[in-house]
Structure 1
């Protein structure tokens, strides 16, 4: 097994008065041999959660488990090497003064002979579809797509059980993104890796992922099988992400766009301050089905229970989880 589990994980930066909780009590499981896609807007906490998984962001609370054992917080330990990260910018993650071969060899487990290291570097370069002769080149001599392949090879050199991929195609040309995504999906299936794949692009996530988790303001607000979540999103934030994504044949209709004045009211709403998240549902200051439009006071006062709703959606008005369909509806007040 190589299941990665975040249990009640929190990450906070700064002091008590001016600090910010970037990740707040997150529960998320990356099943063995599966790809979990994590989406959300900039500042939602995706990359911080990824860095916490590899020990680069200190936990303020909770724990991260691999195969039900707590991961060490020191990245260089043998147990910590079982989770490896591929960063967004491959150029900044590779030492420009080291050859490609030396960078990859550095990640090979200790105790390997020099000849075995050279053979392993050649094998890994071939695995990511690069010629072994590239081992003598420097990062500056490669294209962006080639550097990202090297970053993948370097992560695989540690022989990990889990790969954390943080926006690995966002810095690449559109013409290159598809080939890198095909490579990632092929490697994941051939090697049986578990993967946490982070992206803001829903089309990319749908292509590579089995499970989709949606993050907003430090919390997971919806999570389930990728086709189920994208086919029948339960949280208003997920629906807005879908509505804002480019669609063939034109944009999707905006959520509740038929309500008179709804768009103007939402556009005038102030962005949520991550230093002072609102009480109740965190999305309610921007929600098209919440108190800003429909005067639903429960959104301001009570935090939603995701466990009670389909796709674990943290919304009071999401569809109930199968088996809970007969629960009483929550009180609402319509527009006056």
Structure 2
């Protein structure tokens, strides 16, 4: 496996005057053999960044490299493969499962017998019977289709897999088995993966690192347990506050509620820090903090960091009620974390 790196990547659509910058100056590294979870609300640019990595979205500025080689230079093979969100539309309904998987196999696997054997091996890898190769997608459940999508991505022998909200279109009862499969494949194949989700419980279950995205920019990055146990950016805290569990949310204590305003228009993002109109510790709550309106905070760099002028200043600390160094621990485990399932449980 290889290291996937985004270096100051921007993706723009439309004209300069009326267009949309969906991804703005994003720098992010997916280390070899690691899973990086990319989280953020709808419209933050997560899927656009993923599509840019596989060549489906135009890169306006910057570069995406795989071990230092620009991904756009790969012509005959695609070392970065993607598993899409909707398994019902990502498979050709007129092709059998075997044909869909075989289409992605490398050219060095020659002969119908060798290709059928490789398809059977891949189906076994995702815990499906080899005779499923003769089925059409319409005969399979949502969970089975997503397993086929995983097998097809792995058929191309990728160096990096991008998984874009792969459980959001599935029933809750099926999501756990698919996530367990991804975790098993990661350990068995030493996968390098960019895993995109809005569900922080899922990201916590699978990822080594977390990157938080808001209005096209990365606002926080760091090791999973560090980000979830002591979030430095107020937007990350809002996401944690919104993640439900039996105990309420993923935070042990509640921060101040975000300012009650409409989300910003991505066509005309706010000046300075893009989160400042909604920020509970920004100028909407503290008028003396006009720096958030005037200047954009430095983007995260290094192994961990947050793009916030007052990073680490928790909402309660901003009111002077607790020391700013006090961390906010997680509850012991979110109830929404999928439990391991037996290998023969297939949905």
Do the aligned partners of residues 277 and 73 (structure 1) sit closer, same or farther apart at CA in structure 2, a change above 3 Å counting?
farther
Which residue of 2 is the match for residue 330 of structure 1? none
Which residue of 1 is the match for residue 280 of structure 2? 288
- Tell me if the contact between 1:309 and 1:318 (Cα under 8 Å) persists in the aligned partners: no
CA distance in 1, matches of 2:163, 2:69: 22
Offset, 1:311: 3.0
Which residue of 1 is the match for residue 339 of structure 2? none
Which residue of 2 is the match for residue 95 of structure 1? 92
Query: In the alignment, which of 270, 295, 300 is matched to residue 302 of structure 1?
Result: 295
Do the aligned partners of residues 289 and 183 (structure 1) sit closer, same or farther apart at CA in structure 2, a change above 3 Å counting?
same
Structure 2: stretches of 5+ with no match in the other structure: 314-347
- Tell me if the contact between 1:40 and 1:214 (Cα under 8 Å) persists in the aligned partners: yes
Which residue of 2 is the match for residue 141 of structure 1? 139
Structure 1: stretches of 5+ with no match in the other structure: 258-262, 321-336
SS at match of 1:90: coil
Greater relative contact order, per chain length (Cα 8 Å cut-off, separation 6+)? 2
Which residue of 2 is the match for residue 14 of structure 1? 14
Q: CA RMSD in A?
A: 1.6
SS at match of 2:41: coil
1:74-109 CA distance string (max 9 Å, x none): 7xx334x11000000111010000000000000001
CA distance in 2, matches of 1:316, 1:309: 17
SS at match of 2:304: helix
CA distance in 2, matches of 1:53, 1:310: 21
SS at match of 2:285: helix
CA distance in 2, matches of 1:156, 1:110: 14
SS at match of 1:145: helix
Offset, 1:301: 0.5
1:189-237 CA distance string (max 9 Å, x none): 1111100000000000000000000000000000000000000000000
CA distance in 2, matches of 1:189, 1:100: 25
Which residue of 2 is the match for residue 255 of structure 1? 255
Which residue of 2 is the match for residue 152 of structure 1? 150
Offset, 1:17: 1.5
**1:181 is aligned to 2:173:** no
User: Would you tell me which structure has more helix in proportion to its own residues?
Assistant: 1
Do the aligned partners of residues 161 and 115 (structure 1) sit closer, same or farther apart at CA in structure 2, a change above 3 Å counting?
same
- Tell me if the contact between 1:82 and 1:159 (Cα under 8 Å) persists in the aligned partners: yes
Offset, 1:151: 0.3
CA distance in 2, matches of 1:69, 1:250: 45
**1:311 is aligned to 2:304:** yes
Which residue of 2 is the match for residue 221 of structure 1? 219
1:162-200 CA distance string (max 9 Å, x none): 000000000111111111001101111111110000000
SS at match of 1:184: helix
- Tell me if the contact between 2:84 and 2:90 (Cα under 8 Å) persists in the aligned partners: yes
Which residue of 2 is the match for residue 197 of structure 1? 195
1:274-303 CA distance string (max 9 Å, x none): 011111101001101001110110000011
Which residue of 1 is the match for residue 159 of structure 2? 161
Offset, 1:307: 4.4
Which residue of 1 is the match for residue 123 of structure 2? 125
CA distance in 2, matches of 1:53, 1:308: 20
Offset, 1:114: 1.4
- Tell me if the contact between 2:221 and 2:300 (Cα under 8 Å) persists in the aligned partners: no
Which residue of 2 is the match for residue 83 of structure 1? 80
Do the aligned partners of residues 319 and 308 (structure 1) sit closer, same or farther apart at CA in structure 2, a change above 3 Å counting?
farther
CA distance in 2, matches of 1:35, 1:4: 11
Number of matched residues?
309
CA distance in 2, matches of 1:116, 1:226: 41
Which residue of 2 is the match for residue 56 of structure 1? 56
